[in-house]
Structures are given as C-alpha cells and as structure tokens.
Amino acid sequence: MRTKPPVTIADRARAQAIASIRRYVAENLDEEIGDLKAALFLDYFLAELGPSIYNQAIADARAFFEESAADLGGVCYQTEFPYFAKPKPSG
C-alpha cells in the first residue's frame, strides 16, 4: 500500500491559517501566541485531522460523480436512426 504524504496547504493559505489561529486564541482563550506556536497548532491539526477531512472530501466527490454517472444515460441519450422516425410533413 502506498504511503501518502501529510496533508499540506499552499503557502498563502498557511499564512492566513496561522493568523487566524493567533486571532482565535487571543479572542477565545485570552492568550497571545506567536507565529511559531500557531504554526505548530496548524501542523498538528493538519497531521491529525487533515486525513479525516481529506477522506470525507474524496467520499463526497466520489458520491457526486457516481450520482452523475448513474444518470449519464438519461442526460446524454440520443435517439438512434432518427431520420425516418420523424413525422412526414403533410402537404
């Protein structure tokens, strides 16, 4: 079985997440923490909770595609040999 790398986020999202964690801790826990502690919290959450969130996202995407594929025949069906099936114009 393949081993997967830990869940990661883009640098910009990481910086925003660190700022968000710092603000959350300050507003809800009445503590001031620096970037290093916030980054450690973020790394923990990504390592611990990231796989569960990722797996749920994959399950949701799979369900969406399976539902879409199940209806593919109805959505994309084309009548075969339609030329002579048309009613002839009266005239």
If DSSP codes are grouped into helix, strand and coil, which group holds residue 6?
A: coil
Q: What is the DSSP string of 11-49?
A: HHHHHHHHHHHHHHHHHHH-----HHHHHHHHHHHHHHT
pLDDT of the residue at 2: 67
Say if 4 falls within a structural domain.
no
Is 56 contained in some domain? yes
Question: What range defines the domain where residue 66 resides?
Answer: 11-76
pLDDT at position 51 over 70: yes
Whether the predicted pLDDT of 73 surpasses 90: no
Q: Which of 4, 20, 7 is nearest to 48 (CA)?
A: 7
In a domain, 35, yes or no: yes
Q: Does a structural domain hold residue 38?
A: yes
The answer to whether position 66 is within a domain reads yes
Whether 1 has a pLDDT exceeding 70, the answer reads no
Q: What is the pLDDT of residue 54?
A: 93
pLDDT higher than threshold 80 for residue 75: no
- Tell whether 84 is covered by a domain: no
Domain assignment present for residue 53? The answer is yes
- Tally of structural domains, the chain: 1
